[in-house]
Amino acid sequence: MVSSAVLSFARSERFALLALVLAIAFPIACGFRTYPLFIAAQFAVFAMVALSLDVLMGRSGQISLGHAGFFALGAYAAAILSARFDVDLLAGAIAGAALAALGSLIVGLPATRLSGHYLGIVTLGFGVAVAQIALKWTALTNGDEGVHVRTIHLAGIVLSSPLHVYAVAFVALAAVAVFAARLPRTRLGRAFAAVRDSEIAAAAMGISVARTKVTAFVISAAIAGAAGALYAALTGFVAPEDFGISQSLLFFAMVVVGGTASTAGTLLGALVLDAVSQGAATVGGLSVALIGAAIVAVALFRPAGLKSLWRRGEGSR
Amino acid sequence: MLQCSGVTVRFGGLVPLDGVDLHVPDRGLFLVVGPNGAGKTTLLNVISRLVTPSAGSVRFAGRDLLALEPSALLYAGIARSFQKAELFVGLSALDNVLVGLDHRRVPERAARMRALGMLEALGLGGVAHVTAGTLPHGYQKLVDLARALVSEPKLLLLDEPLAGVTAAEIPTLLRAIRDAARDRAVLMIEHHLELVLELAERVTVLDFGRTIAEGPPETIRRDPAVIRSYLGGKAVEHAW
Ligand SMILES: Nc1ncnc2c1ncn2[C@@H]1O[C@H](COP(=O)(O)OP(=O)(O)OP(=O)(O)O)[C@@H](O)[C@H]1O
Ligand SMILES: [Mg+2]
């Protein structure tokens, strides 16, 4: 049993190495063309949100059906700051993360008393509300015309080519993935798992259940918000239709299909679902149906998600 | 050190605890016994703040425990195990025990050594990295005990630690409990009197939520009320 833990550690390092090689090889393989780089960078941004959602769902045992709401808060914060004040992407991302974290208190505080279905409903409502505010508060958001980002610069350096944005997106994804993968080996990660698995035992072990749940929401939302800022930089333009229920559903599906409480699983789920939704979008309007079908298929045939392809004997988590 | 006075609990019409008094000094093993449904677990739940009594007081080291949040108890020096091991099923056995050290912010590396040492002392070194939820029930009970014990509480509350543990592990378990009681108070609920009665300083016998006897093991053994209610009139030596 000890040796299997050692093996899985080595495996995670091999996985990280493979991911790094792929991330470097991809731009060369696609001849530095704009469209593939854009699609790949967008995948990186969505995968960040999926990882943030797994921190909430897989690691702390809560649920969010409205994660696009946090993503939207970060995207709008960065886009508006850029459009009006030419604010740097780094500052925009920090502001986006902070705004999303603030927004998470709106749902995170009730989460201390709600669970299961009720928390699902509250978060779903939150996601819908954020998209509606983006649509209706035209003085701030331009409504459905959206907000155009000014020149993108990061810590003073102008990101002039798609390759730059691609690099920034994958460095950010790597940082989030390292955080998510290390979390279970930290005190905070254990507190999350404790609250997920037994609230009474968690309390008996000195863990404040309410505070831990809110902390998970704040961290998850902050990451999603920072990803939103990157998304604004990537697309150069944000509009309400990018942050609807179907986007929340996509993030949710990435985690469920990949397998909760697994960083590699969630990354794989993000890759599969992103490919599915990109492919379906070109066919036209099929995307949501396919995402739904993927969730149903996993629930029926592989409840533990894709992670069960390589992780065995760990039950359904 | 622990002083419960007139503790009464009501669940609707049911009164699982009815004016129970209990005194536990600084050191030693103290037993709470009684038939199924007597209110033993409820008493432990009151002390660990999972159940709020409708009357009575609970004081520990001069503090009013009823004023504390459940998550403050470990900080006050009280840890517990559960009748049906309440493990963090998705974590390894080792990580479960590590949670017992986290409130003291022991550095990760040192904490891992301590937690592993605790598991080894209970004969669980070989399953340290196994997901707790997949362990056999007896092992889960031992991990539950390890998690409480590693926090080095001043008062350790144990709810039927022997139940579900296989015969082979019982000697180790009894030794661990006896060692633990050497420099702290251990308040233990247990049905296997033949194994634990001799280790106890004092015994409290509950029945229908009331204390029907209290005293050192020798007296409890011969108490007619205990024999009648707890042992259904059977000969004491035989039943115990
Ligand atoms: N949360 C609860 N709600 C309602 N009734 C409860 C609750 N917890 C316990 N009871 C009832 O209170 C009574 C005492 O239960 P308790 O668990 O304290 O008994 P016990 O002495 O620990 O028994 P056992 O030896 O079977 O563990 C029982 O009748 C039980 O059904
Ligand atoms: Mg009980």
B235 pLDDT band (50/70/90 cuts)? very low
Strands A153-154 and A157-158: antiparallel
Q: Distance from the CA of B77 to the center of ligand 2, in angstroms?
A: 22
Q: Which of B51, B71, B116, B159 to mutate to probe the A interface, most A CBs <10 Å?
A: B71
A31 pLDDT band (50/70/90 cuts)? very high
Q: Distance from the CA of B1 to the center of ligand 2, in angstroms?
A: 23
What are the E-state strand segments in A165-296?
237-238
pLDDT tens figures, A207-217: 999 999 999 99
Is pLDDT above 90 for B234? no
- Contact residues on chain B for A317, CB-CB shorter than 8 A: 90
A1 to B151: CB separation less than 8 angstroms, yes or no? no
Residue A156 has what DSSP assignment?
A: T
> Is this model's pTM higher than 0.95 or not?
no
Is pLDDT above 80 for A245? yes
How much of chain B, in percent, has pLDDT values that exceed 70? 95
pLDDT tens figures, A183-239: 999 999 999 999 999 999 999 999 999 999 999 999 999 999 999 999 999 999 999
A309 pLDDT band (50/70/90 cuts)? confident
Look at ligand 1, atom 16, and give the residue with the nearest C-alpha.
Answer: B39
Q: What pLDDT shows up at residue A3?
A: 45
Q: What pLDDT shows up at residue B72?
A: 97
Within a domain: B102: no
How much of chain A, in percent, has pLDDT values that exceed 90? 67
d(CA A269, CA A51): 10
Q: What pLDDT shows up at residue A156?
A: 78
Average pLDDT over chain A, rounded to an integer = 89
* A170-174, A288-292, B81-85, B127-131: range with lowest mean pLDDT: A288-292
User: How many domains does chain B contain in total?
Assistant: 1
A38 pLDDT band (50/70/90 cuts)? very high
Strands B78-80 and B202-207: unpaired
Is pLDDT above 80 for A6? no
Q: What pLDDT shows up at residue A312?
A: 61
* A202-211, A238-247, B45-54, B216-225: range with lowest mean pLDDT: B216-225
Q: What pLDDT shows up at residue B92?
A: 97
Q: What is the ipTM of this complex?
A: 0.92
φ, ψ for residue A86, nearest 5 deg:
55, 40
* Mean pLDDT computed over A8-22: 79
Is pLDDT above 80 for A1? no
Q: Which of A6, A205, A207 to mutate to probe the B interface, most B CBs <10 Å?
A: A205
A93 pLDDT band (50/70/90 cuts)? very high
Is pLDDT above 60 for A170? yes
Q: What pLDDT shows up at residue B130?
A: 97
Q: What range does the domain containing B40 cover?
A: 1-73+191-240
Q: What pLDDT shows up at residue A317?
A: 38
Is pLDDT above 80 for A314? no
- How many CA atoms are closer than 13 Å to the CA of A66, on its beta-carbon side? 25
* A108-117, B42-51, B165-174: range with lowest mean pLDDT: A108-117
Tell me the nearest-neighbour CA distance from B53 into chain A, angstroms.
17
* Mean pLDDT computed over B39-64: 96
Within a domain: B37: yes
B61 pLDDT band (50/70/90 cuts)? very high
Complete DSSP assignment for A157-179: EE--SHHHHHHHHHHHHHHHHHH
Q: What pLDDT shows up at residue A292?
A: 86
B238 pLDDT band (50/70/90 cuts)? very low
Q: What pLDDT shows up at residue A8?
A: 56
Q: What pLDDT shows up at residue A110?
A: 80
A190 to B91: CB separation less than 8 angstroms, yes or no? yes
Is pLDDT above 80 for B70? yes
Mutate to test the pocket of ligand 1, among B7, B9, B11 (most ligand atoms within 8 A of CB): B11
Residue A110: burial class (beta carbons within 10 Å; 0-12, 13-18, 19+): middle
CATH of the domain at B9: 3.40.50.300
Within a domain: B231: yes
* A5-19, A182-196, A283-297: range with lowest mean pLDDT: A5-19
- The answer, for B238 touching chain A at a CB cutoff of 8 Å, is no
* Mean pLDDT computed over A123-141: 93
Among partner residues B50, B75, B134, which is closest to A206 by beta-carbon distance? B75
pLDDT tens figures, B89-142: 999 999 999 999 999 999 999 999 999 999 999 999 999 999 999 999 999 999
Q: Distance from the CA of B210 to the center of ligand 1, in angstroms?
A: 13
* Mean pLDDT computed over B19-42: 96
B230 pLDDT band (50/70/90 cuts)? low
Angle between helices B108-121 and B137-149 (to 10 degrees): 130
Q: What pLDDT shows up at residue A71?
A: 98
Q: What pLDDT shows up at residue A311?
A: 73
| CATH code of the region A2-316 | 1.10.3470
Average pLDDT over chain B, rounded to an integer = 93
Within a domain: B146: no
Is pLDDT above 50 for A316? no
Surrounding ion ligand 2 within 5 Å at CB are: B 41, 83
In chain A, where the domains are located: 2-316
